[in-house]
Amino acid sequence: MSNVSLKQLVKTYGSTTAVDDVSVDIAEGEFFSLLGPSGCGKSTTLRMIAGFESISSGEIELDGRGVSALPPEKRDIGFVFQNYAIFPHMNVFDNIAFGLRLRKFPAEDIKKRVTAALEQVGMSGLEARLQNEMSGGQQQRVALARVLVTEPRILLLDEPLSALDKNLREEMKFWIKNLQSNLGITTIYVTHDQGEALTMSDRIAVMKGGKIAQLGTPRDIYQRPKDVFVAKFIGESSLLQGKVTDASETGCTFTAAGQSFKAMMRPDLKVGDAAALVLRPEQVLVSDDAPGEDWNGASGTVTSISYQGATLRYELAVGDQTIISESAIGPDTPELANGQTVNVMWHVDHAWLLPV
């Protein structure tokens, strides 16, 4: 049985629709991300699950039970806020004990649980700290401990990393993911950062304009984006504009910039349709050699080279279009120069078409 079920969820404010017919089933223990640009309805969806926003229509089920009539305190959820929302008039201990005291736990039990929770988040010994005496990362850990100590059925995280600096964000990403998988707690994670969503999630729902644009595993979404919006939002990509010119059972022929390429066919395209080929920079190779079997090759000109430390990034003109290639710098990385004509290659498995 699914743990969280959103059924035709709608939220309207006056004449604007913030969340428009969202239906998702989230499994027990799953790490599920709602990913999208600001204003796509992801936070509103999360706040409706928590009970902070009323729903306009549809239903939210937790463990098969409709909860839209329940106030937030009756939903058994844990919510972590973007700004952590540590109570400033209480120290760390009292913040974490807050939920336990409301549940009338005996004092020694509270002490034991709070101590265990602090250990779990690596904050032992900081019981007496106040909110303004902690870094963002520490507040984040306290916010998580405060939520986890009440053993909620579902964990809701609203952009919990966006207020942290970059290094800490990377570290916390893995830390939260580990904590979540150790606890096996169903988690819904809202973010606008595709890197976070890809690394942490079991499944991602990419949202746009209140609707789910694509629902799938990180791999699906990265490699098989459903449309141009998803392809551009998740990761970097070059779009090669062209036309489907021939189709067979195994694949199709795609013509762009005056050259023909092999590509995977998708059911919503037919011969003669305009389409765009998505090429991820790391899947595009640049070489003097001719392409092998199952590889596409195009003749291109190097227009820009930039050194990125671990990788080299080329901008390549293919016809009147631009393809970006990024490859790791290794011992046999060829030295290319601006204006040089090269073979731009990518594997057929990476030749994914999008309707335009």
Partner 1 sequence: MANKPYQEALVPGAFKWIAGLALFILLVPIFVVFLAGLNSGDFLTFPPEGLSLRWIKAFFESDSYLPAYLYSLIIALTAMVISLILGTLISLLLVRSAFAGRALLRAVVMSPIMLPGIVIGLSLYLFYISFDIGLARTQAGLVIGHVLVTCPYVIGMVSAALVGFDRSLEEAARSLGASRWETFRKITIPLISPALIAGGVFAFIVSFGQFDVSLFLTPPNNTPLPIALYTSLRYTFEPTAAAAGIFAIFLVVVSMVITAKITNLRRITAANYN
Which of 88, 331 has the CB closer to partner 1?
A: 88
Compute CA distances 308 → 54, 196, 266, whole Å. Answer: 47, 21, 35
CB of 170 to partner 1, least distance (A): 25
Q: Is 175 in the site for partner 1 (CB under 8 A)?
A: no
Q: Site map for partner 1, 78-117, x if CB under 8 A? A: xx-x-x-x-xxxxx-xx---xx--xx--------------
Q: Which of 130, 257, 336, 348 binds partner 1 (CB under 8 A)?
A: 130
> By the 8 A CB rule, do 49 and 156 touch?
yes
> Are 24 and 197 a contacting pair, CB within 8 Å?
no
**Which residues, 6+ apart, have CB-to-CB distance to 331 below 8 Å?**
none
Specify the residue, 119 or 171, whose C-beta has the smaller distance to partner 1: 119
Q: Name the minimum Å distance from CB 50 to partner 1.
A: 6
150 binds partner 1 (CB under 8 A): yes
Q: How far apart are CA 179 and CA 185, in angstroms?
A: 9
72 binds partner 1 (CB under 8 A): yes
Nearer to partner 1 (CB atom), residue 143 or residue 344 = 143
Q: How far is Cα 356 from Cα 354, in angstroms, rounded to an integer?
A: 6
Please, what is the minimum distance in Å from the beta carbon of residue 289 to partner 1? 57
Nearer to partner 1, 82 or 301 (CB): 82
Site membership for partner 1, residue 77 (CB under 8 A): yes
| Shortest separation between residue 93's beta carbon and partner 1, angstroms | 5
What's the CA gap between 219 and 216, in Å, rounded? 8
DSSP secondary structure of 241-288: EEEEEEE-SS-EEEEETTEEEEE---TT--TT-EEEEEE-GGG-EEES
Distance CA 251, CA 272 (A): 14
Q: Which stretch, 77-85, 193-201, 233-241, 319-327, contacts partner 1 (CB under 8 A)?
A: 77-85
Our finding on whether 51 is near partner 1 (CB under 8 A) is yes
Q: What is the DSSP letter of 122?
A: T
CB of 12 to partner 1, least distance (A): 16
| DSSP bridge pairs for 205 | 34, 215
Q: Reduced to 3 states, what is the DSSP secondary structure of residue 205?
A: strand
Give the range of 33-41, 54-62, 122-130, 310-318 binding partner 1 by CB under 8 A: 122-130
Footprint on this chain of partner 1 (rule: CB under 8 A): 50-52, 71-73, 75, 77-79, 81, 83, 85, 87-91, 93-94, 98-99, 102-103, 127-128, 130, 143, 146-147, 150
